[in-house]
A = this chain, B = another copy of it.
Amino acid sequence: MSSLLGYSELMTSRPFHHGNLRVVLLERAEVMLREGGVDGLSLRELAREAGVSHGAPRSHFPDRQALLDALAERGFSRLTEDVRSALAGSGSLRHRLGRMAQAYVDFAVGDAALMELMFTTKTEGRTGPLQDAAVGLLEVLDDAMGPSADADASNSSRETFKLLFGATMQGIAALIASRRISRDQGNALVSEAMDVMLESQLGKQAVAQGSG
């Protein structure tokens, strides 16, 4: 039965999680999600792995959906961070946007189940931290495109460009994740999509001033 215990309390039997059970659960849930998908994520098994009773998670997450929402929120934070750092380097706008797109697809493919959680929101309400996290992602794209012109028309095309950019990356990632195209084909498709968008009227209007 000692094999059921974690590594850090082979000596002491009881005092386990001080106040960080919540994060422990989230971290273990993330790997369970990655390994077994959403269906493979069981609250009871999660509690078992954390070394607590099956009722314990209830103190931190009212139900399973609450845990799933928290995972999605953390996912958005991590994605935003990945994308932001991919964008941070030097190079032309085209190169930086390309790196960003690549980071996005990398994340989506590497954490397909989490991505599914993030983009098939079950929650009805339009407010909440989860929506904020999603908005933050678009802001990164906004920053990358440099200062915006103050004309309304330009802002409109900029919004459209951002949405189209995000939608296209999302779609390509879905194609890869569902094994309909290979990873290499996906990378080529990302590059092609970048060209198509940047050479278009919409793209030229949207990034008129942005030249890192």
Seen from chain A, the residues whose Cβ lies within 8 Å of a Cβ on chain B are 37, 112, 116, 119-122, 126, 134, 160, 163-164, 166-172, 174-175, 177-181, 185, 188-189, 192-193, 195-197, 199-203
Contact = CB atoms under 8 A, between A and B. Distances in A.
Shortest beta-carbon contacts, A-B, top 8: A167-B171, A171-B171, A170-B171, A196-B200, A167-B172, A121-B178, A119-B178, A168-B168
A202 B197 contact: no
Contacts of A177: 120
Contact of A171 (B174, B192, B202): B174
A196 B189 contact: no
Contacts of A164: 168, 189, 192-193, 196
A202 B198 CA distance: 12
Given A164-B168, A196-B202, 10 more contacts: A120-B178, A160-B189, A167-B189, A170-B170, A171-B172, A195-B200, A195-B201, A196-B200, A196-B201, A199-B201
Nearest to A122: B37
A193 B193 CA distance: 11
A192 B160 contact: yes
| A164, A167, A170, A200 — most chain B CB neighbours (10 Å) | A167
A168 B190 CA distance: 11
A185 B156 CA distance: 12
A182 B181 CA distance: 29
A177 B120 CA distance: 7
A182 to B, nearest CB: 11
